[in-house]
């Protein structure tokens, strides 16, 4: 039985881990965030803008061949890697790409959409055409070795249906949870990053290959402003990871930010939106993983997940460390 009382977080990160009173902060999802925080921090420590930091940070992860982000990631069920990304700054400027193929850095294309077009979102062939016109290279149409092998395994069963989170048949928490590759690297679906710069301005980025072996054309929450990511410089910023369909259903990231606006701490706000998803999904909540991380403009941080196993990477001038998120299921 899922009760409201069971959803209440014991203690917020704002109590457990107080950020430094001043100076920039970077938060990013999953273990891969520890590495991604470093190029982001290189921008911030020189007095750079949060927007540049969140772009540089997740570009690092997009470059990684051993990550379910970028072109090294698992393909859709037709064997094609399709990428989603978005970015948002402290002035409500935002840009997004979805269903983008053969372009190495979707996050940078999303930024160009934001800065060079009157639009917020470009998808598919149009997004690729725009990227090429902006000077991005068309990468080879081939899978990484890890993705080839995972796809070959998947084809053996070839369950030609929309992705269902299945804890028993896949890994602990479905295709959106990290899995350990043979070489020991962690494999993640999404990296989301939040940063505050030395001016106190917030920005956020998010980039993913989405669900492994998804239906062709499937787009998750990650490129959808308000679902996968949201920034309001007067309030805070939030980014989501996990089962995108269930994040979209509750307009996840913007709902977290709205709850912060109305007085919740980031920790309480993340927990409340996870609780909302659980109330919608009922018993099916045990089969999905969703997590949020949030940063308020008062420098409080928070995170909450449906299942244990989600961590986020926190960086300030003193430390770069992985923090285990609290979760509904223990
Ligand atoms: N959160 C990633 C996705 O659902 O595509």
Non-local (6+) Cβ contacts of 197 within 8 A are 24, 44, 47, 48, 49, 50, 53, 203
Q: What domains can you pick out in the chain, each with its CATH number?
A: 13-324 (3.60.20.30)
pLDDT of residue 22: 81
Ligand 1 surroundings by CB, under 6 angstroms: 189-190, 208, 210-211, 220-222, 241-244
> Per-residue pLDDT tens for 256-272?
999 999 999 999 999 99
Q: Assign 20 a pLDDT band (cuts: 50, 70, 90).
A: low
Q: Is 265 a catalytic residue?
A: no
How far does residue 223's CA lie from ligand 1's centre (Å)? 9
> Per-residue pLDDT tens for 85-109?
999 999 999 999 999 999 999 999 9
Report helix, strand or coil for 54.
Answer: helix
Q: Assign 21 a pLDDT band (cuts: 50, 70, 90).
A: confident
Query: Between the CA of residue 99 and those of 85, 103, 160, what are the distances in Å?
Result: 9, 11, 19
Report helix, strand or coil for 115.
Answer: helix
**Ligand 1 atom index nearest CA of 243:** 4
Report helix, strand or coil for 120.
Answer: coil
Helix (H) or strand (E) holding 5: helix 4-7
How far does residue 243's CA lie from ligand 1's centre (Å)? 5
The pLDDT of 38-51, averaged and rounded, is 98
pLDDT of residue 19: 64
Pairwise CA distance, residues 82 & 84, whole Å = 7
């Amino acid at each position: 039985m899922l009760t409201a009382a069971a959803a209440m977080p014991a203690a917020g990160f704002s109590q457990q881990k107080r950020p430094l009173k001043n100076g920039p902060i970077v938060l990013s999802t999953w273990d891969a965030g520890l590495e991604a925080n470093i190029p982001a921090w290189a921008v911030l420590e020189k007095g750079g803008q949060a927007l540049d930091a969140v772009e540089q940070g997740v570009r690092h992860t997009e470059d990684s061949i051993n990550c379910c982000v970028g072109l090294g990631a698992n393909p859709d069920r037709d064997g094609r890697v399709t990428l989603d990304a978005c970015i948002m700054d402290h002035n409500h400027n935002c840009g997004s790409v979805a269903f983008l193929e053969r372009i190495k850095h979707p996050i940078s294309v999303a930024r160009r959409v934001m800065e060079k077009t009157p639009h917020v979102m470009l998808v598919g062939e149009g997004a690729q055409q725009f990227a090429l016109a902006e000077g991005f290279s068309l990468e080879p149409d081939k899978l990484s070795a890890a993705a080839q092998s995972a796809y070959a395994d998947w084809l053996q069963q070839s369950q030609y249906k929309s992705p269902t989170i299945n804890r028993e048949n896949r890994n602990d928490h479905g295709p959106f949870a990290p899995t350990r590759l043979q070489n020991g690297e962690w494999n993640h679906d999404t990296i989301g990053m939040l940063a505050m710069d030395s001016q106190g301005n917030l920005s956020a980025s998010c980039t993913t290959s989405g669900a492994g072996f998804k239906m062709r054309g499937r787009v998750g929450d990650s490129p959808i402003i308000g679902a996968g990511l949201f920034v309001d410089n007067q309030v805070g910023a939030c980014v989501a990871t996990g089962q995108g369909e269930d994040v979209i259903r509750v307009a996840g990231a913007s709902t977290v930010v709205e709850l912060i606006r109305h007085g919740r701490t980031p920790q309480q706000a993340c927990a409340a939106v996870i609780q909302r998803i659980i109330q919608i999904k009922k018993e099916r909540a045990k089969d999905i993983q969703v997590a949020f991380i949030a940063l308020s403009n008062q420098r409080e941080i928070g995170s909450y997940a449906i299942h244990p196993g989600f961590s986020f990477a926190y960086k300030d001038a003193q430390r770069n460390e992985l923090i285990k998120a609290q979760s509904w299921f223990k």
